[in-house]
Amino acid sequence: MGAAVVSCRRGGASAAFDQINKYFMMNNMPVVSSQYWNQVHGMTPEEVMQDLEGLQTMRILANNMAWLLKSVEAGRNTNVPMPQTEDRMFTNFIHE
């Protein structure tokens, strides 16, 4: 499972956030979310500590990640099987 987290001075984090999430999804990983995009703003760690909304988003993300990890572990303890996997299929629509 994964959770994308990005940090930026002002803007541009949404594109990076999107690309990281796409990587997780293309590799069959459950993606953990929060109340907003998982990002904080600031040029320095001290500035990030002033981003109260971003810090709240990170706390909620951490709680959601902990809950999901505990849920997966509980499923293992009750013999809930993991989803079946299949061999990857590749299709090429270019024909000669």
pTM above 0.85, yes or no: no
Distances (CA, A) of 71 to 4, 58, 74, 75: 20, 20, 5, 6
Q: What is the pLDDT of residue 14?
A: 87
What domain range includes position 46?
6-66
Q: What is the pLDDT of residue 80?
A: 79
Whether residue 4 contacts residue 24, with contact meaning beta carbons closer than 8 Å, is answered with: yes
Give how many domains the chain has, as a whole number: 1
Q: Is 91 a member of any domain?
A: no
Average confidence (pLDDT) per 10 residues, the chain, 96 residues:
89 87 93 93 93 96 96 84 85 76
Q: What is the pLDDT of residue 65?
A: 96
Q: What is the pLDDT of residue 40?
A: 93
d(CA 20, CA 4): 6
Q: Is 43 a member of any domain?
A: yes
Q: What is the pLDDT of residue 96?
A: 66
Q: Is 96 a member of any domain?
A: no
Apex CA 62: angle with CA 58 and CA 64, to 5°? Answer: 115
Q: What is the pLDDT of residue 85?
A: 86
Q: Is 33 a member of any domain?
A: yes
Query: Could you tell me the two tokens for 46?
Result: 């001290």
Q: Is 32 a member of any domain?
A: yes
